[in-house]
Every structure is written in structure tokens, then in C-alpha cells.
Amino acid sequence: MNSSHADSHPSSGPATAPAPAIRAIGLRKTYGDGDAMVRPLDDLSLDIEAGRFTAIMGPSGSGKSTLLNMLAGLDTPDSGEVIIGGTALSGLSDRKLTALRRDRIGFVFQSFNLVPAMDAEENILLPSQLAGKKTDRRVFRRMVDLLGLSERLHHRPHELSGGQQQRVAVARALVSQPDVIVADEPTGNLDSNSGEEVLSILRSSVDELGQTVVMVTHDPRAAARADRVVLLADGRLAGELIDPDPESVATALMNVTATTGAAAAGTSRAGASHSGVSHAGGGR
């Protein structure tokens, strides 16, 4: 639609890319002190493109979960800034930050996080009710139909399969029409068929609804459903793939993991060598 409009008005000039849905600028985060110090983010900057599906991957300890928490306003950096839709998070009070997360970010977690005493419909509508907003029933019905939940709305979580529970969680994230959907290992607790269902739904939310999705995953097949895969290592960007396929993602992840492992082994050997010299000197 946009391209045909541009063709009919060639003098309007080239289209400009939309502003990022989220900007991360120079993020640093450190836990612990001395030998126990861990730095999951080390001066990391990243733009999450609006209206696209971004997957974040990396070896264990690369900082991907910490980054996702920062992007969603669930954690704060030691330094640096996160900007969501033009709003810098560092200047917000706790109350305003809570309101921003509630109103502008939809969450899909590995563990579903549904309220056991509520049925599917009540779980889907809960964030809007907490925000004091009236749900657009047309949007609600569209989401429910898209996710195949029409016959399950009055079932409680324990009466639903894992895939159905995650679909309820996705509907809950989508129905308030947030700026961004943040998904943390959304297929981690699902069998392969249910996982594919959820990934297809997230993909459709981007393609059909113009939603922005950012997802952390360890699965190359899941990441290959994204438009872009961002690779992390040691709290820094280690590369990215555009329009990925499972093989290219697996290869890139393997290379990053091997490089990180080799660097860690080199550091460990250097530390052991240094320690040996120190002890020898002490013995003399």
C-alpha cells in the first residue's frame, strides 16, 4: 500500500524509515564485585525497528536476558539510556515507568504467567482492566479469532494445553495494542507443534497487524522466523543477520559461541599462568 502511494506521487521524495520502537544507547550493567563481578552488558547500543520482528541470541551469559529486561523497562542500567517511543526511561518515576510498561509493552513469558483463578477471557482482559481502559471488543474478537481461542474463552488455565495457554498469553499481550511485544523464550515450555503455532502468531502479528516484536530465544528455528537476528557475546553486539534461515542462524551462533569460548579459555590460561608465577615467587 505504501509503495503504490509512493509510485503515484514520485515527486514526494524517498520514504524515510520509521523511528525505532526502542533505542538502547550505551547500556552498561554490572553485578557483584572483585572476582565475582559479572558485566552482562558492556556499552551496548541497539535499535529495535518498528513494525518488524527482531530476535536476540547469544551464548549463555552473553547478556540477552538482561538486555531484554532493560528494553522492557523491567531493569535499569548502571549507565546508558533506553528510549521507548521517544520516552527516555531514566527520567521516569516508578509510577510512570509502571504505567509505561502496562500501556505500551506487551509481555509473553516462557512460563505463561496466567492467573489460575481466571478464565481465558478474564486473563486476556486483565491488563486493560488494571489500566482502567475499556477494551475495544472488535480488537478483542479479532485477536481471539486469529489465535483460535473462541471455544476456549471460558476455560481456566489448568483446562488448557500448554500451547493454548501461551496463545492466551499472546492474546493478552496483543489486545491492548502496545507499541512493542517483548517475548522471553516464548516456545521454551512448548512441544514443537505448539511452539510453531506461537511463532506463527507472532509472525502474523507483525505481517498483518504491523506489530513490533522483540524475542529472546536459544532456538535457531525460532529465530529464523524473525526479520532480523541480533547476536550478543560478552554483553556486546557480535553481529546480525537479515532475513535469516535456520542454517545461517545456527552457523552464526556456533561461531559466536566458539569465539567466546576461545577467548574465555585464553583468559583462563593467562590467569592460571599468572597465578603459577605468583606462587613460585612466593615460594622463593
**Mean pLDDT in residue range 66-88:** 94
Q: Which of 13-17, 20-24, 139-143, 190-194 has the lowest mean pLDDT?
A: 13-17
In a domain, 23, yes or no: no
Strand pairing class (38-48; 22-31): antiparallel
Q: Are residues 41 and 235 in contact, defined by beta-carbon separation less than 8 angstroms?
A: yes
Residue 26 pLDDT more than 90? yes
User: What DSSP designation does 53 have?
Assistant: E
Residue 160 pLDDT more than 90? yes
More confident residue, 69 or 279: 69
In a domain, 169, yes or no: yes
In a domain, 217, yes or no: yes
**Mean pLDDT in residue range 109-121:** 92
The Cα–Cα gap between 255 and 247 comes to 12
In a domain, 224, yes or no: yes
- Cα maximum dimension of the chain: 85
Q: Are residues 167 and 173 in contact, defined by beta-carbon separation less than 8 angstroms?
A: no
Number of H helices, E strands in the chain: 9, 10
Helix (H, G, I), strand (E, B) or coil at 241: strand
In a domain, 161, yes or no: yes
pTM confidence score: 0.81
In a domain, 1, yes or no: no
Helical H segments across the chain, by residue range: 2-8, 64-71, 94-104, 120-130, 137-146, 162-175, 192-209, 220-223, 246-283
- Angle at which helix 120-130 crosses helix 162-175, to 10 degrees, equals 30
In a domain, 272, yes or no: no
At residue 112, the pLDDT reads: 85
Owning domain of residue 137: 52-62+94-246
- Per-residue pLDDT band for 88 (boundaries 50, 70, 90) equals very high
Split into its structural domains, the chain has a count of: 1
Burial of 2 (0-12, 13-18, 19+ CB in 10 A): exposed
Domain containing residue 180: CATH number: 3.40.50.300
In a domain, 231, yes or no: yes
- Residue 10 is placed in which grid cell? 514520485
The Cα–Cα gap between 124 and 106 comes to 11
Residue 23 pLDDT more than 50? yes
Kind and range of the H or E element at 82?
Answer: strand 79-84
Q: Are residues 142 and 133 in contact, defined by beta-carbon separation less than 8 angstroms?
A: no
What are the angstrom distances between the C-alpha of 81 and each of 70, 86, 274? Answer: 9, 12, 38
At residue 124, the pLDDT reads: 94
Site of grid cell 585464553: 266
User: What DSSP designation does 15 have?
Assistant: P
